[in-house]
Structure 1
């Protein structure tokens, strides 16, 4: 849209420069950022209007029609075997090569090596991914005109702090299109809180140090509540007698209770004794159209790294394959209707009008939306699937 309106784009650029000087610079100065650092960071920077999820100044933010992040697309697409196998096979070789530092990191933070390496592989291809964008261009643009601009305002100020404190040079501040940095793909606020100097050279280097990268990921997870000694979860079979609408971290039961309801591990083995005594949660990321899981609190710690059920599931699954060998999910991902994010948002608003808590009409079918669908389907005489489809959009949109 912006590319077709060069005059409008020029106007946005002028507004951006005014915002930099009259709004962002005073906030940066109050945080101890020097004029020299600020000028170096934004020298030659203009808003990148090709970035997704932008809102024209003066307009109201609405859920975008198309979802750009793979984590929120059709569930089965996220688990392409070549992608999972690449992370798991690459992870095994790196665990073997880095066994000593990984053991030390696990002793320090309590997070297993497989989890750390799976995140590393997913985020940056073990440091091999091309991360091409000027971080100040991305973060500045998003702080000025993204749907979540308040969040990105904090991130761009944190990025300036990173440079001001000497952690990194302006020229090295390269990011993803979402503003994430380095091999663990930390946002700047996460770098300032959780980046960890594991090799003892005096600098937490998430760009060139593999050990610092892995320790920083572990520090992040530990700080967000990783429970040492617990698994992340188990693939299970859920009988029809157990409603898919029981999903969610606020509907936990002892894992032994789930087992007493007829939920079994796909491996045929019983749940480990130490897990059976503790709380677990039903997870059905594609409703009845895909694999089901009983997950532990550690699954939701993984979601703190990336707020996506599919991301956390990918990491847990890849970590299992790194540790135990390449075994795919026992259940397959069924086909789901191709829906725009705006379609799902309309359906969510329809559910909200009927009193359901969908977790916000954002166009993303999280667990509150999935179980609301299941409850609505059961109430209306339909077989609960707990996942959006075109018929639901027509009925509720």
Structure 2
């Protein structure tokens, strides 16, 4: 072997040893990182295990059978992804245009009309018994699960156990977990088929377990309340919920209306109910411009996109819809989709697309700014709800603007400036 060849061999040897040493060091780092994370992982597992042990004692004290307690809680899994979803909040606030336009489509309307025809006999029988019109049940079905197209793919008991053992809303989800076990105890569904959303909503109509126990019905007569596999049970249970929530038979949810150019938008809001006769005197007409038949039935006025968007008069039944979901946007979508399924046309005035993206942090700051100005906007939670819109309307009145409660970037900046000056 020449001297040069020997030197090259020696260099290759040292390079190989250097590479091996690097890999060894990297593996040590990985192991150490794993060891550092182990206490946290073990703590989470141990905490969940201790929680489930306590849950077993609680479930047995609530007279849930040992069979169900063992069947559910011996195999229940902690799902970190459920906690992530519970903590997740959208970065930007949802506008009415964004909400409504993604949920009311021609395809969904046509599918709803077809299902209304397909299940007409069943739905007419339910309407005769409960007073709930068929198109509303189909509308809820469409918005909740796209007519049964997607129930969610989470184990309800795993999701509820994960949330019950998390401190944020433990009491609420503990109750829901116990109620889910009561449903299993009653034999309405098997644990394997009890699937739903990450938060535990179940079946065609996305009932939480407590809602299931209070309102679910066995309509098809097979001895089980099956909201997953039985359309009669699902429709009848939804109707029972609405009836017991105070639905007034023969009263529509509301309607789109046209407002006069001089309208006082300070009259808008769910807490300001006037009779139809009073709204007529204020110049409110149907969306087509035709007169509204006056009556003493009381309605509230909503302008979810401000004065440039559609306006709606909503009845007591609208408030019943909101017992299902506390969102005005949701209830407006249910009502309009029901109308479309029954044959009505689309809105005459569509909500204008909002180009401004307002973040939840900006809304939170807005709520604090309004409080600085002596206007109560409710909790500074970053949610643009009815209390915050009412507070915005108050500011608009105070500053001689159109008091429609609608927020855009120009108004946001004006409120920020006013609050800054007031705090000096």
**TM-score band, normalised by the shorter chain?**
0.7 to 0.9
Tell whether the 8 Å contact from 1:289 to 1:333 is kept in structure 2 after alignment: yes
Q: Which residue of 2 aligns with 1:21?
A: 53
Q: Which residue of 1 aligns with 2:193?
A: 172
Q: Which has the higher contact order (CA 8 A, sep 6+)?
A: 1
One of 279, 292, 295 as aligned partner of 2:311:
292
Distance in structure 2 (CA, Å) of the matches to 1:187 and 1:82: 22
Q: Which residue of 1 aligns with 2:337?
A: 318
Deviations 1:124-168 (A, max 9, x none): 122121520011121122223264333222211111111112221
Per the alignment, do residues 38 and 376 of structure 1 end up closer, same or farther by CA in structure 2, a change over 3 Å counting? same
Deviations 1:55-114 (A, max 9, x none): 6xxxxxxxx65269xxx7221112236743233211111111111111110011111100
- SS of 1:294's partner is strand
One of 191, 208, 216 as aligned partner of 1:187:
208
Q: Which residue of 1 aligns with 2:230?
A: 209
Per the alignment, do residues 83 and 324 of structure 1 end up closer, same or farther by CA in structure 2, a change over 3 Å counting? closer
Distance in structure 2 (CA, Å) of the matches to 1:245 and 1:186: 36
Note the residue ranges of structure 1 that are not aligned, 5 or more in a row: 56-63
Cα offset for 1:201? 1.9
Deviations 1:201-247 (A, max 9, x none): 22221111111111111100111111100010111123353333323
Please give the TM-score of this superposition, normalised by the length of structure 2: 0.82
Tell whether the 8 Å contact from 1:289 to 1:336 is kept in structure 2 after alignment: no
Distance in structure 2 (CA, Å) of the matches to 1:182 and 1:193: 15
Per the alignment, do residues 234 and 167 of structure 1 end up closer, same or farther by CA in structure 2, a change over 3 Å counting? same
Q: Which residue of 2 aligns with 1:154?
A: 175
More helix by share: 2
Cα offset for 1:345? 2.5
Deviations 1:283-316 (A, max 9, x none): 1222335211110011111111111111111111
Q: Which residue of 1 aligns with 2:296?
A: 277
Task: Please state if 1:39 is matched with 2:70.
Answer: yes
Tell whether the 8 Å contact from 1:197 to 1:212 is kept in structure 2 after alignment: yes
Q: Which residue of 2 aligns with 1:377?
A: 396
Please give the TM-score of this superposition, normalised by the length of structure 1: 0.87
Task: Please state if 1:66 is matched with 2:85.
Answer: no
Which structure would you say has the larger Rg? 2
Distance in structure 2 (CA, Å) of the matches to 1:210 and 1:304: 22
Distance in structure 2 (CA, Å) of the matches to 1:147 and 1:353: 29
Tell whether the 8 Å contact from 1:246 to 1:371 is kept in structure 2 after alignment: no
Distance in structure 2 (CA, Å) of the matches to 1:104 and 1:304: 24
Q: Which residue of 2 aligns with 1:115?
A: 136
Per the alignment, do residues 128 and 147 of structure 1 end up closer, same or farther by CA in structure 2, a change over 3 Å counting? same
Tell whether the 8 Å contact from 2:163 to 2:170 is kept in structure 1 after alignment: yes
Tell whether the 8 Å contact from 1:53 to 1:147 is kept in structure 2 after alignment: no
- SS of 1:252's partner is strand
Distance in structure 2 (CA, Å) of the matches to 1:206 and 1:112: 19
Cα offset for 1:32? 1.1
Tell whether the 8 Å contact from 2:273 to 2:300 is kept in structure 1 after alignment: yes
Deviations 1:295-351 (A, max 9, x none): 001111111111111111111101101112442342333415212223323322332
Cα offset for 1:360? 3.1
Q: In the comparison of the two structures, how many residue pairs are matched?
A: 380
Distance in structure 1 (CA, Å) of the matches to 2:235 and 2:259: 35
Distance in structure 2 (CA, Å) of the matches to 1:348 and 1:205: 44
Tell whether the 8 Å contact from 2:257 to 2:285 is kept in structure 1 after alignment: yes
Note the residue ranges of structure 2 that are not aligned, 5 or more in a row: 1-36
Tell whether the 8 Å contact from 1:347 to 1:392 is kept in structure 2 after alignment: no
Q: Which residue of 2 aligns with 1:227?
A: 248
- SS of 2:342's partner is helix
Q: Which residue of 2 aligns with 1:243?
A: 264
Per the alignment, do residues 361 and 224 of structure 1 end up closer, same or farther by CA in structure 2, a change over 3 Å counting? farther
Distance in structure 2 (CA, Å) of the matches to 1:220 and 1:325: 25
Tell whether the 8 Å contact from 1:195 to 1:212 is kept in structure 2 after alignment: yes
Q: Which residue of 2 aligns with 1:59?
A: none
One of 256, 264, 268 as aligned partner of 2:289:
268
